[in-house]
Amino acid sequence: MEKKRRRRIRKGRVALLLLFLAAVITVIYYIIVALVAFFSWLSADEPVQEEKPTLHVTPEMLACDERMQHRLDSLMHKPLRLDTNKIAVSVFDATTQRYVYRYHDTESFIPASCMKISTAIAALKTLGMNHQYREHILAMGEMKRDTLVGNLLLMADDDPLMESFDPLIKKMQSRGIRHVRGNVYITLAREDTLRPHPTAKAWDIPYNRTPLLLRGKRYVDRTFRASMRMNGVTVRNDKTVNARRSKGRFGGGKYHYVATSSHLLRDVITPMLIHSSNIKADAVFYHLDWKQGLMPNRRMNWDAKHYAETFWREKTQVLDSVSTRLVFHDGSGLSPENRLSASVLVDMLRYAYGDKQLKDFFIDEALASTVGGERRGSLLTRMSHPDYKGRLFCKTGTMTTYGASSLCGYLLAADDHWYIFSIINVDSPVAESRLFQDRICKMMMKE
């Protein structure tokens, strides 16, 4: 018996020892896991720098730049029918990452519609390439057959592509709501009417061409109610209805989505750049302000600093934060008091070129181009010779009353280098300025 008892004691001690060892191993394991997680968290807080391929510039590439510089300089020193003091030219070789030519390119001139470049890049980079404008109809209340007894709420961004409420209302009807007894409310991203900056001409953004959701809250309210009537949805106002006490699928004291529509920001940017839409450009400009909390009253504030300017001065290294020579009054370029330099426009385009998504979007979709068809946009018939097809991707700008004309963008030259360029003419005949701009581009694209 004594031997059996001792044997049991030994087995018990061995079992306890094994349990102790297992516990120690488990504790060590979890300590290691915790340490790995901690150091991983620390490293995640540090920005990961993408390794860019080392640029290898050959003597042949440098020779191409020298030839291009000589050709541009020769053109500028030929007799011109323009005052060269009113011309700014900036050319940067994106292939060798070197400035090739600079002529008055730090002078602040009227950029005209090339101002849209700064607006587009700031909006896409801040809000994202897949940012969407959204419109919703929400319901809160009790359904009695096909009647909503409660509240109907329209919530809408300042979407410049929204043309009619009919699709939204039809979606609402498909959810069973054909009549409303209660209250109809509207919440908009902006409640005033889109207008040009006071320094621009009032008729530059005509009211009859202003998008539906940018005509002011009263107009939107009337149009929404009229659209419901036209689609057979009756509304009976009843202030006594308490929707928060309702039950059922639209009850519970909260709003439920019953219809939604959306448009991509990039679908606004494309016609804004290709066809130089002033309305869409200013709509994007103020939408960016609203999304960044700069329109607390949901109305334009002419005196406030706009986010597009903040983006370029503070969020990037493109502009310094104190220079007063550059002016951002609007997003379209309609204000004659806007000021940018040719070098700043090139630096903005360089910033976009360094972002693959932005670069591909601008070159493949968004800029006017000699590719042809709809892509010609505001280029019209300029540089339409087959030799230039698919080599130029640009934004045009014109302000006839001030003799301002501009052209900037990306160009694939005859030496197979990609160039980023900007040309601004001021106080000059617009037709002559365009011919001058075309001469520079043609010379770069053709041997």
How far, in Å, CA of 61 to CA of 142, rounded?
73
Q: What average pLDDT does this structure show over 339-368?
A: 96
Of 317, 337, 319, nearest in space to 327 by CA: 337
| Beta bridge mates, 421 | 91, 409
- Element holding 100 (H helix, E strand): strand 98-103
Which residue spans within 115-156 are E strands per DSSP? 132-144, 147-156
Q: What average pLDDT does this structure show over 279-292?
A: 96
Ramachandran category for residue 380: left, alpha or beta (phi over 0 → left; psi -120 to 50 → alpha):
left
pLDDT score, position 49? 39
By the 10 Å C-beta count (0-12 exposed, 13-18 middle, 19+ buried), 223 is classed as middle
pLDDT score, position 246? 74
Would 59-129+269-445 and 132-264 be classified into the same CATH topology?
Answer: no
pLDDT score, position 46? 38
pLDDT above 90: residue 350: yes
Q: What average pLDDT does this structure show over 404-408?
A: 97
Confidence grade of residue 239 (pLDDT, cut at 50, 70, 90): confident
Residue corresponding to tokens 């060590």: 28
Residues 96-132 pLDDT 10s: 999 999 999 999 999 999 999 999 999 999 999 999 9
pLDDT above 50: residue 335: yes
CB 404 within 8 A of CB 48: no
Q: Give the three-class secondary structure for 62.
A: helix
List, edge to edge, every strand of the sheet that includes 147-156.
Answer: 234-237, 179-188, 147-156, 132-144, 256-264
399 is written with which tokens? 């302000």
Which residue spans within 265-361 are E strands per DSSP? none
pLDDT above 90: residue 55: no
Phi/psi at 128 (5° precision): 105, 150
What does the domain layout of the chain look like in residue ranges?
59-129+269-445, 132-264
pLDDT above 80: residue 434: yes
361 is written with which tokens? 């979007």
By the 10 Å C-beta count (0-12 exposed, 13-18 middle, 19+ buried), 229 is classed as exposed
Q: What homologous superfamily is domain 132-264 in, according to CATH?
A: D-Ala-D-Ala carboxypeptidase C, peptidase S13 (3.50.80.20)
pLDDT above 90: residue 329: yes
Residues 180-207 pLDDT 10s: 999 999 999 999 999 999 999 989 999 9
Which residue spans within 303-377 are E strands per DSSP? 368-369
Q: What average pLDDT does this structure show over 324-349?
A: 94
pTM attached to this predicted model: 0.84
Residue corresponding to tokens 């720098």: 49
pLDDT score, position 398? 97
Q: What average pLDDT does this structure show over 255-268?
A: 96
| Share in percent of the chain as helix, strand, coil (round to 5) | 45, 20, 35
pLDDT above 80: residue 212: yes
Q: What mean pLDDT value characterizes the chain? A: 89
pLDDT score, position 332? 97
Cβ atoms within 10 Å, residue 439: 13
Of 135, 205, 211, 147, nearest in space to 176 by CA: 147
Residues sharing a CB contact under 8 Å with residue 421, sequence separation 6 or more, in sequence order: 89, 90, 91, 92, 346, 407, 408, 409, 410, 411, 440, 441, 444
Residues sharing a CB contact under 8 Å with residue 288, sequence separation 6 or more, in sequence order: 119, 122, 123, 126, 127, 306, 307, 308, 331
Which of 28-32, 37-41, 56-60, 232-236 shows the highest mean pLDDT? 232-236
Q: What average pLDDT does this structure show over 132-140?
A: 96
pLDDT score, position 402? 93
For domain 59-129+269-445, the CATH class is alpha beta
Q: In terms of pLDDT, which residue wins out, 18 or 421?
A: 421
pLDDT above 80: residue 149: yes
Q: What average pLDDT does this structure show over 396-401?
A: 95
